[in-house]
Amino acid sequence: DSGVTQTPKHLITATGQRVTLRCSPRSGDLSVYWYQQSLDQGLQFLIQYYNGEERAKGNILERFSAQQFPDLHSELNLSSLELGDSALYFCASSVVSGSNTGELFFGEGSRLTVL
C-alpha cells in the first residue's frame, strides 16, 4: 500500500459526459501529480500541484482540469469525454517538488472507460 488513495477504481461512462477523479496523497506529501496511461503506453504527465498551487503542466487537454484543495487532496475533472480518453489515470504524491524531487508514490489508478 503506497498510502495514496484514488477513487473511483473503475468508471464507465459515455462520450460527451464529465467525470471527476479524486486523489488523497500520502500523509505529509505536499505534491500531487496526475498521469494518464493509455493501453500499453507510457506515463503521460498531465499536471502537478504543490501545496495547493499549480506547479507544472504537461500535455493536458483543455477539456481536462484539476485542482488541489487546502486539505491537499486533488481532483482531476475530465469533460466532453471522447473514446480516446479511455485510460488508466494515476495520481502520485511526493514530499517535495522541483530540484529536490524524490520518490513518487503512486495510487492504484482510476480506470476510465468511455463508450
Binding region for another protein (CB under 8 A):
2, 33, 35, 41-43, 45, 48, 50, 55-56, 58, 90, 97-99, 101-104, 106-109
CB of 3 to another protein, least distance (A): 12
Q: Which is nearer to another protein, 42 or 70 (CB)?
A: 42
CB of 32 to another protein, least distance (A): 12
* Distance of alpha carbon 43 from alpha carbon 55, whole angstroms: 18
* Distance of alpha carbon 21 from alpha carbon 86, whole angstroms: 13
SS3 100: helix
* Distance of alpha carbon 84 from alpha carbon 18, whole angstroms: 14
CB 42 within 8 A of CB 90: no
Name the residue with cell 469533460: 79
Q: Which is nearer to another protein, 11 or 79 (CB)?
A: 11
CB of 76 to another protein, least distance (A): 16
DSSP 58: -
* Distance of alpha carbon 79 from alpha carbon 63, whole angstroms: 5
Q: Which is nearer to another protein, 87 or 104 (CB)?
A: 104
CB of 22 to another protein, least distance (A): 16
Q: Which is nearer to another protein, 45 or 79 (CB)?
A: 45
